[in-house]
Amino acid sequence: MPEPVAQIGQMMQPDWVANATMWVGLVAALLVFSAILGDHCLACGGQTILVAAGLGYAAAVTWHAMIGLPFVQGLLADPRAEPWNWIPVVLGVLLVLAAGERILFQGEGGPPAGGFRRVLRWGGVVPAAFLLAAGIAVVAVGSVQGTLLPQFLAAARTGIRWDTPLDLFFTGLLTLIITASALVFWGLDRQHHLAGQPNWVQRLMGAWIWVGQRAVWLAAGAIFARLLASRTSLLIAEFEFMRATFAATGLWQIIQSWLPK
């Protein structure tokens, strides 16, 4: 939510709502942080609240996004205009019913499900397969178009020009070496592709593979470092939220009054 919109929303809320929200957030944060003391019921309660809030938010966002879909808008305008718009709705309802049946009867003993339950289970496979296939396609296409293809094109367009400044020359050279060696490391197998080759070819390609392996390790380390930095920033922001909330609720003043002077 943009900052001006959030400030307007806070101004429109009654004082007791803002205070209750602040206290709930503080208590939930303390419960989650109490997990450092061990696995106890308070920490489990805080984690449950956190997961439930995340799932509720995701459900609300998904619901509003589904209402904004073109076929849903077409059904709301005229349910009889486009019969094909009912297919996604029917598949979605079938998936929800099949998931509900799985949840309600999970772990039951006795004979296998028959009759309507069996039909419902097999019917739920169809929308689940569509959902899985669409998810895999989105991830694959997004990875190729958003990451792999731009990186490959950027590396392929990187040339080594002798008239460029020294820093740009070494940047282009290093880009080509790391990209080519990483591709060799992932696509070349020593035992399968280098068997029967002359010794000098095996040594040369072995050194190329060694460089590619270190390049992959370097990339993995950079990704891990960025992940660690982002998580550290989130932790610092959480501590800042707790500090501000302690000050706003007056708890910090109470704690200071208890401390010996």
Per run of 10 residues, the mean pLDDT along the chain (length 261 residues) is: 45 63 83 85 88 90 80 76 78 85 68 68 86 88 78 70 76 80 81 80 86 89 93 90 82 76 68
Element housing 173 (H / E):
helix 166-187
Alpha-carbon distance 183 to 76, whole Å? 51
What number of helices (H) and strands (E) belong to the chain? 11, 0
pLDDT reported for residue 221? 92
Q: What per-residue confidence (pLDDT) applies to 32?
A: 85
Residue 225 identity (one-letter amino acid) = A
What is the pLDDT at residue 8? 39
Q: What is the pLDDT of residue 225?
A: 94
For the entire predicted model, the pTM comes to 0.55
φ, ψ dihedrals at 107, nearest 5°: 80, 5
Quickly tell me which residue has 């106890």 as its tokens.
40
Instruction: Kindly state the DSSP code that residue 82 receives in the 8-state scheme.
Output: -
